Structure 1
Amino acid sequence: MPEHCAAYKCSNRRTSANRARGITFHKFPKDKDVRKKWEVALRREGFTASSSSVLCSQHFKEGDFDRTGQIVRLRDGVIPSIFSFSVHLQRLEKGRATSTSRRAEESLSVASQDSQQMATSHPQPQPNDDHGYALPASPTTLKTRLNEALARVESLEREKKNAMAREKRAKTTVKSLLGDLREMNLINEELNEKLEFYSDLQIDVMAKQGHEYTKDYREFALALHLHGPNAYKYLRETRHFPLPHPHTLQRWLR
């Protein structure tokens, strides 16, 4: 069952679709003090994080992440701060009626009244639904979308690098392999001359299990295994090139 974000009303789960969107998931800290701060930040009454509880990256600021490695990590001591709370969660809990909490509640009430008065005297422009490119009204929402876009760009850059590496491996030809095998004394000049005929043949992933081997590919594999079994074993078992199993070669000969 996919892990889901523990934040209030957050429906993000650890799925391939969310991974493609650049959303990452992070476990609660092992440090008790920091872990408690995470739990308080969620404002979920009675919630205690378990060893499998996670929060998604949409509840952290961009500066909270360390993206220098292949795995996106959170910096030490960061606290989640981006949430969409209901009105009742935005007030302090009544059970914590200390003098400090009462002052905080009074300040919150005054700030709320001031914001309402400002909204009345200076009405905010309504979003234009006719244009899909209109900016969201909330700066928090805008920042969240920006972070998602940046994470998506980074993910696409990694995919591009991986694709280029796969393409480079796919373009490995028999000619380049023969040079390596000669340097390692796995083939002699006579065998090298025989295999030069297949110098342009690509040793790529198209010849893996589940695909038909081409005629040239079969002839190359048979010749190499017959005259250079050590070289064949080296390429197949050490370099992991998609050469057929010797049993397959025997079947071809029959």
Structure 2
Amino acid sequence: MNKGEKRICFLCNSKTSQSYHKFPKSESLRSLWLQACNLTPEDNVNSLKICSKHFKEDDFVDLNARRFGGIIRLKTNAVPSPSVIECNVTVAKPVSEFSKELNMPSTSTAHEMKICSNVVHPSTCTNEEIMSNNEQEMILETEVQRTPTKRKHVLTPWYVGDLSDLDVTTSRKAKRSLQMAQATITKQRKKIKSLQQQRRRLTLKIRCLKDLVASVPEHVQEIIKRNLRNKKQQYSSELRQFALTLQYYSPRAYNYIRHKWRNLLPHSSTIKNWYSNINCKPGFQKQALDAIANENKKKKVLLNIVIDEIAIRSQIIYGSNRFYGGVDLGSHMSFESDNDNLPKATHALVFMAVAINGSFKVPIAYFLIKSLTGEERANLLSKCLELINDTGAKAVSIVFDGAPTNLVF
């Protein structure tokens, strides 16, 4: 038993017994103890104790254990008695207590004198006195044999959910239970009010932040969202366009902004990879035609087709497992790229689309040539007009110089 823990018997409320014993952990033996103490399995008996007055002498393992510094223990099959056992066991005192008693002066003479003074001599007492003395002895015996029948409740409930019918049997208990319930309700109401106020403030804060995010440009919104997600994701088209434009105008400014925004913008090497993924081989440029189609979705695009021939350096260069610099009219009209005997191209024939009702121009095709006849040029122009028509835009004019080969158109 821990120091400072109150030792009170549950059955007789005794505080001066020799030993106190807790309820066993074994389910079968525990049920016998509960039945003997008139308790139910639902009752909390972890803090209840039964004193040694409710056990027989045969229920203990060793009565002299305490005398030598040990602990008095019960046998595994010991069950308490609801009433106090008259012929209860007398536990031996420790050796230290015996030594103290030996050193104390003897007072047996005084006790003997007091006892003898109360003795009634037969020669001097009457029959009435003897009968009265016998009646007093019988009354004392009956009082000793009586055991308290009133039992306290197992535990005082601390929560409303622990209340039961036993807590409202008297007016005092009912009043205490009512006060506890009212205090619990008041506490919960205050907590609900505080949580509701906290929820309203958070809702207002979220609404203000959403309005603030909606007021900034789309690429800034994307940067904010990426920062909140805090994980790698694919860059959106708006953020890609913003990064490409800013890096094109000023790489130093781009690196500065990227550093200030905690590297939320793509790295310069990533932008280089984006540029390298664009297919710029000779022929009609699919990316340029897709860009015209996107602009035409906003409004009808009117185009002017500009055709020009540009002189280039004539040479053959090897790189990326192929030869460059030879005559190339596109994927279906070029020579073998792995052949080093290619005819060297001397000019680049370029088709440029210029918006009449817009502010953009984009090269839609180029071809590496050495010499082309007028009929071949006409076939390329016819293919160009067909692809522009597929985008939904309309080519309203064609501009070229006065070279003899162009007049064959």
Q: TM-score range by the shorter chain?
A: 0.3 to 0.5
User: Taking CA–CA contacts closer than 8 Å with sequence separation of 6 or more, which of the two structures ends up with the larger relative contact order?
Assistant: 1
TM-score (norm. length: structure 2): 0.21
Task: Please state which structure has a larger fraction of its residues in strand.
Answer: 2
Larger radius of gyration: 2
**Structure number having the greater helix percentage:** 1
Q: Could you state the TM-score of these two structures normalised by the residue count of structure 1? A: 0.32
